[in-house]
Chain A
Amino acid sequence: MASEISAVEISHLSKDFRTHLRKPALRAVDDVSLRIMPGEVYGLIGPNGSGKSTTMKALLGLVAPTSGKCSIFGKDSMQVDSRNDVGFLPENPYFYKHLTGQETLRFYGKLCGLGGRELDARIAELLKLVDLEGARDRRVGGYSKGMLQRIGLAQALIQEPRLVILDEPTAGVDPVGSRQIRDLIMTLRDRGITVFLCSHLLEQVQEVCDHVGIIFQGRMIKEGRLEDLIAIEDQTEIVIQNGDEQLVARISELVSGTPGASLVRTGKPRTTLERLFLQSIR
């Protein structure tokens, strides 16, 4: 693992934006460092304007770092060939409205040097993956928000990149669309594709990511494995199937008889509102 090249390496990245000639520059990203290993799903979380998108843009070479360095699979982000291995879905993307879903994927595929039967097969595979086979010949201008995000994800994957960067992938999408996108992210993870996403929807990040970074006012304030960061170290959770009140009472008794231990809470676990909603509409 130590000798493996990181999928993403951001080292002491700072980015200043000059908003007015006389005013001092605005620091959007301040000395941010992070490392994402191949196969990880990394979530960068933070409030609006905290520097998440600027960090991603610096990684894609869309903005130049004021200081620091970004690399993708060991290649400097400012070099065009670093993007051979990257797929990117920007926040609230609009694609060319005059193209159909299939034409959109063909356009991006050709930009990546794909063509012929290989591209046809790839388009068919991706349309199936993002569940847009029925809308392949419809113009993108008529797509819903969720469909746009999914065609966006498909274009990001067109050249089979090893890294996918997603900027607020579920923002503004209804619960069904949001669920589909999160399922797709988990499919990508299962296929070994590295995912770097940013969002301010914390529950969704928690569901799909194995590593997270918390960015606030341009600075990385916490970073690490999600399990390590959110685990309450001095508590243990037991979930029992078909346990009656007597069993709970016996467990409570056992706990109270153990020096230093105390029962914090018993009760029925709750489903999420999202799960309830999805079950109700199916």
Chain B
Amino acid sequence: MNHTPSSSTAPARGNHFGRILVIAGHAFTQLVRMKVFYFMAVFALIAIASNFLSLPQHAGPESMGAQVLNQIKSWSLGAMTLFSVVLSIVATALLLPKDIEDRTLYTILAKPVPRFDYLAGKLLGVILLVLVSLLMMDALMVGALQLRTSMVMSEQVGMVKSLGWGDDAIESLKQEIRANGSNWSLQGAVLAVFLRAAVMAALAILISTFSTSTLFTTIVSFLMYFIGYFQADARDVYLHGGEAGQGAVARIGSLLVSLVIPDFQLFNVIDAAIEGQAVPLVAMGKLCFVGIYYTLFYLFVSWFVFADKEF
């Protein structure tokens, strides 16, 4: 079935990009009006609660400030990961089956709308939603961190001064506290969370092109998410675990698996950012490439499946 645009000189109006934006804007509005942003209240609670949680620690009192800041980052980024992945999978899994069930898909595809534009629009709508959600959560997290950093700074500096620390030691402590506050590495971690959610949304849209229900799409997408975390380890064990992994076929097979299923361990830079370590630009560049590659890969495979789908 050929659903690619014809090259004939029909009086077609609009363009691909315009149509994709219309569908994306609509998908975004649809999800917003489904009140998905209510979870922001839960996130705000988590961000505030993480200030007061005291977990057992083995470090000295001079590290307590950094511990509190790490705790805020850890809880906030954890909640961001949870919300963004759940949102990207569930929202995407909901959109296509709902359009088919309600027959709204018929009215859209009966217009001069190529199927690729429809899919890309839906995906972009979900990605937009995830982006806006993350930006809001990021703003909350940064706000909480800024506030807490200045409090920790004055508390800790006051404490070490009373213990008689020298200026150099105090400056070093200040630097440590700043490193654990809000910085560019933390924004890199948020970008990593966003890229991972975008990949998951694209994967969910691929699954929903051949799935028959929202439930199936959601379950398989989460399964693929977990496989993404273990596939690199599994490949390593297979390739280095014995003779089976030494052959060319095994290596090609392993390469194909990595081309189709993302290695989500690459996104562990988030942990480094929580620990206050700087995330190298090269690592971020690699993440961006991986995120864009898998998102586009899944989108084009979705198109391949969806182009021949009958309704």
Contact = CB atoms under 8 A, between A and B. Distances in A.
| A-B complex is real | yes
Contact of B311 (A57, A92, A111, A113): A57
B22 A60 contact: no
Contact of B18 (A92, A96, A113): A113
Contact of A111 (B30, B34, B113): B113
Nearest to A59: B110
Contacts, number: 121
Say whether chain B's binding surface is mostly helix, strand, loop, or mixed.
loop
A30 B13 CA distance: 35
Given A80-B3, A93-B104, A98-B30, A86 B110 contact: yes
B311 A81 contact: no
Contacts of A114: 13-14
B143 interface: no
A83 B104 contact: no
Contact of A96 (B10, B30, B308, B311): B30
Interface string A106-130: 0110111110000000000000000
17 contacts: A57-B311, A61-B109, A63-B310, A80-B114, A81-B8, A83-B110, A89-B107, A99-B29, A108-B108, A110-B18, A110-B19, A111-B19, A111-B108, A112-B112, A113-B12, A113-B14, A156-B107
A79 B310 contact: no
B106 interface: yes
B110 A81 contact: no
B240 interface: no
Contact of B106 (A80, A88, A108, A111): A88
Contacts of B106: 57, 60, 62, 88, 90, 93
A152 B22 CA distance: 19
B58 interface: no
A81 B13 contact: no
Interface in B5-32: 5-6, 8, 10-15, 18-19, 22-23, 26, 29-30
B83 to A, nearest CB: 22
Nearest to B15: A113
Interface string A88-106: 1111111110110000000
Contact of B109 (A62, A155, A165): A62
A195 B310 CA distance: 24
A84 interface: yes
Interface residues of B, number: 37
How many A residues are at the interface, by size bracket? 35 or more
A203 to B, nearest CB: 26
Contact of A95 (B6, B104, B114): B104
Contact of B34 (A80, A98, A99, A152): A98
Given A78-B1, A79-B2, A152-B107, A62 B22 contact: no
Closest 4 CB pairs of A and B: A113-B14, A113-B13, A88-B110, A81-B10
Contacts of A63: 310-311
A182 interface: no
A96 B94 CA distance: 13
B167 interface: no
A64 interface: yes
B103 A80 contact: no
A78 B2 contact: yes
Nearest to B18: A113
A92 B111 contact: no
Contacts of B13: 84, 112-114, 159
B10 A62 contact: no
Given A64-B1, A110-B14, 7 more contacts: A61-B3, A75-B8, A80-B3, A86-B110, A88-B106, A108-B108, A159-B13
Interface in A137-161: 152, 155-156, 159
